[in-house]
């Protein structure tokens, strides 16, 4: 299948009542791990690259690896998404390269650190939508600010400082025409999300419920959704790592979100932990090894395992064959003739 739009994947997920994992990548092994997991579980999938990933791998390498994935797995609906675009220019460059959807994270200023005003966020997101839709490219916006810092990106903090206000979410969706909306509900990026198993006081799932009630047809996105499983922490530490005890987002909470309009679930940290644990194990148990394939193969297999688990847990497993690809040119026509809605349905309070 050619690379398809995230919008198509999320529209189908809404019909089927499931979520789609969006997994971050920086290199070939991570793309291979995700595609093998998608094949194993028969899942549609979103692969996403951050600005940091684009700088690390170089755009052209990433793009051609993604084309290779689409060619090698014709049965898998696959979208290539820009994660946390920090400016209009970043989004345009991703679209020019061939990404099939972009996130304009206007919740922060272009420095990727300081929270932007609501009006600034609306203006830059609307500008990206106006550029993207005529080209058939879907746009994710963010309202509210997540916690944590990844690779220099993020406002820091616990994730509770700038939670999404449901009224603002409605206004934002109406004024920007985004295809999907990332919400801040107390999650943060990275491994150190919670210092104990999160309960209702830290993870505001009731906000997802409230936003979904007001915007019943809008695809919601949960960032910072790694579960940071204990066994992956333990493997890293057993083989010389020094992770402090931490808790991620319980899978049951994500599943509750999925029952309430969450269609895209962002996961990066769990893959990073799986890879690091597997590599450390080889280094400690077989210190004589020096062929990178000796540790990259188990690393890739470990990532495949956790990604496949998430695909089953999010409900996307089994849905790869449900639909045919809509070309990006036809997506552009759909936005133009209105068959692809950009006006959210808003329910009264």
Instruction: Please provide the size of the chain in residues.
Output: 349
By CB under 6 A, tell whether 202 contacts ligand 13P.
Answer: no
How many other C-beta atoms lie within 10 A of the C-beta of residue 290? Answer: 8
337 is an active site residue: no
Least distance to ligand G3H, CB of residue 291, Å: 27
* Tokens representing residue 221 in the block: 């996105």
Q: Which of ligand 13P, ligand G3H, Zn ion, none interacts with 52 (beta carbon under 5 to 8 A by kind)?
A: ligand G3H
**Terminal-to-terminal C-alpha distance of the chain:** 42
CA distance 115 to 86: 12
Q: Quick one: which of 266, 304, 313, 316 contacts ligand 13P (CB under 6 A)?
A: 266
Q: Which of 83, 105, 165, 179 is catalytic?
A: 83
Count residues binding ligand G3H (CB under 6 A): 11
CA distance 305 to 246: 21
CA distance 327 to 22: 20
Angle of helix 292-314 versus helix 269-285 axis, rounded to 10: 150
Q: Binding string, 53-92, against ligand 13P, x = CB under 6 A?
A: ------------------------------xx--------
CA distances from 14 to 7, 20, 129, 262 (A): 10, 10, 21, 9
Least distance to ligand 13P, CB of residue 21, Å: 10
Q: Which of ligand 13P, ligand G3H, Zn ion, none interacts with 300 (beta carbon under 5 to 8 A by kind)?
A: none
Q: Quick one: which of 268, 270, 279, 326 contacts ligand G3H (CB under 6 A)?
A: 268
Q: Which of ligand 13P, ligand G3H, Zn ion, none interacts with 53 (beta carbon under 5 to 8 A by kind)?
A: ligand G3H
By CB under 6 A, tell whether 153 contacts ligand G3H.
Answer: yes
Q: 48 vs 73, which CB is nearer to Zn ion? A: 48
Q: Which of Zn ion, ligand G3H, ligand 13P, none interacts with 153 (beta carbon under 5 to 8 A by kind)?
A: ligand G3H
Q: Which of ligand G3H, Zn ion, ligand 13P, none interacts with 219 (beta carbon under 5 to 8 A by kind)?
A: none
CA distance 269 to 282: 20
Q: Quick one: which of 8, 24, 180, 309 contacts ligand G3H (CB under 6 A)?
A: 24
CA distance 194 to 129: 34
Buried b (16+ CB within 10 A) or exposed e, 63-87: bebbeebbeebeebbbbbbbbbbbb
CA distance 171 to 174: 5
Q: Which of ligand G3H, ligand 13P, Zn ion, none interacts with 310 (beta carbon under 5 to 8 A by kind)?
A: none
Dihedral sign of CA atoms 100, 25, 10, 66 in order: positive
CA distance 73 to 82: 21
By CB under 6 A, tell whether 218 contacts ligand 13P.
Answer: no
Q: 36 vs 105, which CB is nearer to Zn ion? A: 105
In the complex, the residues that contact Zn ion under the rule CB under 5 A are: 223, 266
CA distance 108 to 346: 26
CA distance 219 to 169: 12
Q: Which of 189, 306, 193, 205 is nearest to 247 (CA)?
A: 193
By CB under 6 A, tell whether 84 contacts ligand G3H.
Answer: yes
Q: Which of Zn ion, ligand G3H, ligand 13P, none interacts with 102 (beta carbon under 5 to 8 A by kind)?
A: none
By CB under 6 A, tell whether 189 contacts ligand G3H.
Answer: yes
By CB under 6 A, tell whether 133 contacts ligand G3H.
Answer: no
Q: Which residues bind ligand G3H (CB under 6 A)?
A: 24, 50, 52-53, 83-84, 150-151, 153, 189, 268
Q: Which residues bind ligand 13P (CB under 6 A)?
A: 24, 83-84, 189-190, 223-226, 266-269
């Amino acid at each position: 299948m050619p690379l398809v739009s995230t919008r198509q994947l999320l529209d189908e997920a809404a019909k089927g009542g499931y979520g789609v994992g969006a997994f971050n990548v920086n290199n070939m092994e991570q793309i291979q791990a995700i595609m093998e997991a998608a094949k194993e579980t028969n899942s549609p999938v979103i692969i996403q690259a951050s600005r940091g990933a684009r700088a690390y791998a170089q755009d052209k390498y990433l793009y051609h690896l993604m084309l290779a994935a689409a060619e090698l797995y014709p049965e898998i609906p696959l979208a290539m998404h820009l994660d946390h675009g920090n400016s209009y220019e970043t989004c345009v460059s991703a679209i020019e390269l061939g990404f099939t959807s972009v996130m304009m994270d206007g919740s922060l200023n272009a420095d990727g650190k300081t929270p932007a005003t609501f009006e600034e966020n609306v203006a830059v997101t609307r500008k990206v939508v106006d550029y993207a839709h005529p080209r058939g490219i879907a746009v994710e916006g963010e309202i509210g600010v997540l916690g944590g810092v990844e690779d220099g990106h993020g406002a820091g903090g616990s994730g509770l400082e700038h939670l999404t206000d449901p009224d603002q979410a409605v206004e934002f969706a109406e004024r920007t025409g985004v295809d999907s909306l990332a919400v801040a509900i107390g999650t943060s990026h990275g491994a150190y999300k919670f210092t104990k198993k999160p309960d209702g006081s830290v993870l505001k799932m009731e906000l997802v419920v409230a936003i979904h009630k007001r915007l019943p047809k809008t695809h919601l996105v949960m960032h910072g959704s790694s579960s940071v499983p204990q066994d992956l922490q333990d493997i890293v530490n057993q083989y010389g790592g020094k992770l402090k005890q931490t808790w991620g987002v319980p899978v049951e909470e994500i599943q509750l979100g999925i029952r309430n309009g969450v269609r895209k679930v962002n996961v990066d940290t769990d893959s990073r932990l799986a890879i690091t644990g597997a590599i450390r194990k080889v280094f400690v148990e077989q210190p004589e090894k020096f062929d990178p394939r000796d540790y990259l193969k188990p690393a890739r297999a470990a990532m495949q395992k956790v990604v496949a688990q998430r695909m089953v847990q999010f409900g996307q497993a089994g849905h790869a064959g449900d639909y045919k690809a809509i070309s990006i040119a036809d997506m552009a026509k759909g936005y133009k003739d209105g068959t692809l809605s950009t006006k959210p349905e808003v329910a009264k309070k």
